[in-house]
Amino acid sequence: MEEVNKYKNQGVEKVSFDVTNLTYIASSGIRVVIFAKQKLGGNPEIEFINCSDEIYSVFEMTGIQNYINFVKK
């Protein structure tokens, strides 16, 4: 979250998370996405690259999957 905070109000248009090697996510990960969307300013696009089905299921459970652009690379 500190990392995201550094870019506050700097006109960030897109935040991209490469989660190719991520096997696991907890609520702290969900909070980072909410935080990025709310605090960066300018309603940036949120992108997840190579998100696993299990991690997607956590986004789905918390109802934020519709605010994320999921891409495979």
Q: How far is the CB of 73 from other proteins (least distance, A)?
A: 23
- DSSP character at residue 63: T
* Contacting positions for other proteins (CB under 8 A): 23-28, 30-31, 34-35, 37-38, 43, 54, 58, 61-64, 67
Q: How far is the CB of 14 from other proteins (least distance, A)?
A: 15
33 and 46 Cβ atoms separated by less than 8 Å: yes
Q: How far is the CB of 55 from other proteins (least distance, A)?
A: 9
C-alpha span between 51 and 13 (Å, rounded): 21
29 and 56 Cβ atoms separated by less than 8 Å: no
Our CB check for other proteins shows the closer of 34 and 71 to be 34
Our CB check for other proteins shows the closer of 10 and 66 to be 66
